[in-house]
Amino acid sequence: MMQTMNEILEEVNEDLQLQANLLLTDSEQQALLNSGLLFLTAERIKPYIAKIRNYLRETPQEDRVWTMYKATDISNNLLGFYALVLNNDSNCN
C-alpha cells in the first residue's frame, strides 16, 4: 500500500504521541514533511528518549515508517543531536 507523505507524517505523529507523549511542533512537522529528516537537540528529546528507544526496540523496522539515529562529535564523542528519519521503503508519493 502506497502512503502519501501526509499519511506518513500522521503515522509518525501518532507513534510519538502514543509511545512517548512527544508532540512535534508545526515547524518540526514541516521540516520532516519537506525532507523526510528532522534533527532534534539532545535537550529537546531528553524527556522522551527512553520511551522512543523502547518503542524502536520492540517494533520491527518493517512495521515502522521511521527510525531515529544518534550523532556524536567524532573529536570528543559528545552527543551532538538526534535525527528522526523516514524509512526509505515507506513507499510514499
Average pLDDT over residues 70-82: 89
Q: Where are the domains of the chain?
A: 5-90
Residue 8 contacts residue 82 (beta carbons within 8 Å) = no
pLDDT of residue 14: 97
Per-residue confidence band for 77, with pLDDT thresholds at 50, 70 and 90: confident
Average pLDDT over residues 66-89: 89
Residue 19 contacts residue 71 (beta carbons within 8 Å) = no
Which grid coordinates belong to 39?
534533527
Summarize pLDDT for 23-68 with one digit per residue, the tens: 999 999 999 999 999 999 999 999 999 999 999 999 999 999 999 9
The reported pTM is 0.84
